[in-house]
Amino acid sequence: MAFPQIRMRRLRAGESMRRLVRETVLTVDDLVHPLFVKSGTGLKQPISSMQGCYHFSPDLAAQEAAGVAQSGIPAVLLFGLPEKKDKTGSRAWAENGPVQQAVREIKNSTPNLLVITDVCLCAYTESSHCGLTKDGTIDNDATCELLAKVALSHAQAGADIVAPSDMMDGRVGYIRQTLEKNGFHQTGIMSYSAKYASAFYGPFRDAADSAPAPVFAGTVLGDRKSYQMDPACCRQAMREIELDIAEGADIVMVKPALCFLDIIAHARQRFDVPIAAYNVSGEYMMLNAAAQAGYLDRNAAMMEMLYSIKRAGADIIITYFAKEAAALLK
Ligand code: PBG
């Protein structure tokens, strides 16, 4: 059968018909809202590289988180900026670090909001690399031990889910074992499993003060390509995800989202765990810049982006648009 028996436009005749046959459902339940936390009190400072985003002190982060929960968004993802960096990134596991404080304050005031914490060293090390520098390289196994300490400190503060974003091998297993040994059987792991060495993290690195030093203490460390994935690879992403699931990841992630929709779709076909996708800072600011220049309709483009990520197969979308999207989805 063909035209005129079949006219595809019948299915697009009006908004009710389009709603009836819509294949992808995007809801506020799918969204995670990222928050940047800094030491101090009463702080809410605009982040210059990321329009509409702020550095919050733990007290105001809790206030912001309450608003996020009010808008129906089920989870926040916390990133921390320490007062000072050091060689090993030791403030990442400090009991009174900004993330640990913020977790406690949020869980106190808004207990039902899920608190996810980014587990990485890049905002805490002097080199701003995601791992410990040793003999001119990033030492994988030594880094895993430190990451497990970071994750444990977040769990002790009350985090529901820890999210390692460093891309060291074996870190999910290290973290899972450490959590189990310390009685945190219910603390989940959302692993940044397929995290690519992407140009789209630029605005975030300004926000988190985490742009890696190409040369540190006289050694050439270069960029993050020795641990983050090559954007030209897909099969490698499937192996990364498979390994993370075997090591105990409850949720896996593909990051960034938009240049990697095929990776999300492949992962959706192969794995039965929840899949998260990170709509990263560069994707957010690319749209903002184009909208500001008058090239596109911001809300329409934002929803189209979010639908594409959901349609590709993501269950969870981490996005700086979360609050705005939530308002439109009401
Ligand atoms: C830290 C981390 C990064 C992002 C999330 N966690 C930056 C990086 O790997 O360089 C990027 C998030 C974004 O761009 O929105 N490892």
pLDDT tens for residues 151-188?
999 999 999 999 999 999 999 999 999 999 999 999 99
DSSP 8: G
For residue 63, is it within any domain? yes
Q: What is the mean pLDDT of the chain?
A: 96
Cα–ligand 1 centroid distance for 199 (angstroms): 10
**Position 209 confidence tier, pLDDT thresholds 50, 70, 90:** confident
Catalytic pick from 38, 85, 195, 323?
195
The answer on pLDDT for 219 being more than 80 is no
- Asked whether residue 10 is domain-assigned, the answer is no
The pLDDT score that the predictor gives to residue 217 is 67
Residue with the bigger pLDDT between 128 and 152: it is 152
* CA gap 109, 116 in Å, rounded: 16
Closest CA to 263 of 289, 229, 221, 307: 229
Best of 166, 171, 201 for a ligand 1 pocket test (most atoms within 8 Å of beta carbon) = 201
**Please, which pLDDT band fits residue 211 given cuts at 50, 70 and 90?**
confident
Count up the domains in the chain and report the number: 1
pTM of the model: 0.97
Q: Is residue 8 part of a domain?
A: no
The preferred substitution site among 77, 119, 165 for testing ligand 1, maximizing ligand atoms within 8 Å of CB, is 165
First to last CA, the chain: 40
326: pLDDT strictly greater than 70: yes
Report the range of poorest mean pLDDT among 11-15, 67-71, 122-126, 216-220. Answer: 216-220
Ligand 1 binding site (Cβ under 6 Å of any ligand atom): 118, 120, 122, 130, 165-166, 201, 204-205, 210, 224, 280-281
Is 255 annotated in the active site? Answer: yes
Confidence (pLDDT) at 210: 82
- Residues shown for the chain: 330
Tell me, yes or no, whether 2 lies in a domain.
no
Decide: 254 and 261 in contact? Cβ < 8 Å. no
Residue 214 has pLDDT above 80, yes or no: no
Please check whether residue 106 lies inside any domain of the structure: yes
Calpha distance 101→108 (Å, rounded): 11
Gap between the Cα atoms of 156 and 94, Å rounded: 11
Task: Determine, yes or no, domain membership for 107.
Answer: yes
On whether residue 14 sits in a domain, the answer given is: no
Catalytic: 149?
no
Separation between Cα atoms, residue 236 and residue 234, nearest integer Å:
5
Compute the distance from residue 38 Cα to the ligand 1 centre, in Å: 16
208 band by pLDDT with thresholds 50, 70 and 90 = confident
Higher pLDDT residue, 221 or 67?
Answer: 67
Rounded Cα distance, 32 and 160, in Å:
13
The stretch 134-162 carries a mean pLDDT of 95
Say yes or no to pLDDT of 213 above 80.
Answer: no
How far away, in angstroms, is 278 Cα from ligand 1 center? 9
Q: Confidence class of residue 136 from pLDDT cuts 50, 70 and 90? A: confident
Q: What CATH number should be reported for the domain holding residue 152?
A: 3.20.20.70
Ligand 1 atom 11, closest CA: 201
Domain hosting 189: range is 25-329
Q: In whole angstroms, give the CA distance from residue 172 to residue 164.
A: 7
In a domain, 60, yes or no: yes
